[in-house]
Amino acid sequence: MSTAVYYSIEEVSKNNGKNGSQIWIIINNCVYNVTEYLANNKHPGGTDLIEEYAGRNATKAFNEIGHSADAKNLLKTFKIGELVQNEVPEELKKSHTIVINNKNKQNRNCLSTITCGLFH
């Protein structure tokens, strides 16, 4: 059973940290809520670098820095959903698919898995 939640680019863009909104970012085809992470000043690269992508696609920036496996694992903990399929850029559809446990879901079915092209 799939528990994936899908967001449109438009919906993500509303969560840009302005007017008290949360801060969501897109990396690959997934949506992450980084509000708390930034509020607690936890990013080793600084808050500003991520804030620049608030409500937007940060895939290129995230990948180009060459983040560690630890950083990618941390990122997974912020996942709240995925982009609606017809909005996933073509080049990202080719990403390899991995299966991860989605710990953020309210759903008690903790074995339910979702796919996300996070790693190559």
Among the listed residues 82, 64, 95, 105, the one whose alpha carbon sits nearest the alpha carbon of residue 9: 82
Q: Is 61 in the site for ligand HEM (CB under 6 A)?
A: yes
Span between the terminal Cα atoms of the chain, in Å: 25
Verify binding: residue 76, ligand HEM, rule CB under 6 A: no
Q: Applying CB under 6 A, does 116 fall inside the site for ligand HEM? A: no
Regarding 56 and contact with ligand HEM (CB under 6 A), the answer is no
Number of residues that bind ligand HEM (CB under 6 A): 20
Exactly one of 4, 5, 43, 51 binds ligand HEM (CB under 6 A); which one? 43
Contacts (Cβ under 8 Å, ≥6 apart) of 116: 28, 29, 30, 79, 82, 97, 98, 100
Is residue 26 within a helix (H) or strand (E), and if so which, with residue range?
A: strand 24-27
| Residue 20 found at the interface with ligand HEM (CB under 6 A) | no
* 24 is a contact residue toward ligand HEM (CB under 6 A): no
Q: Contact residues for ligand HEM (CB under 6 A)? A: 32, 34, 37, 43-45, 49-50, 53, 58, 61-62, 65, 67-68, 70-71, 74-75, 78
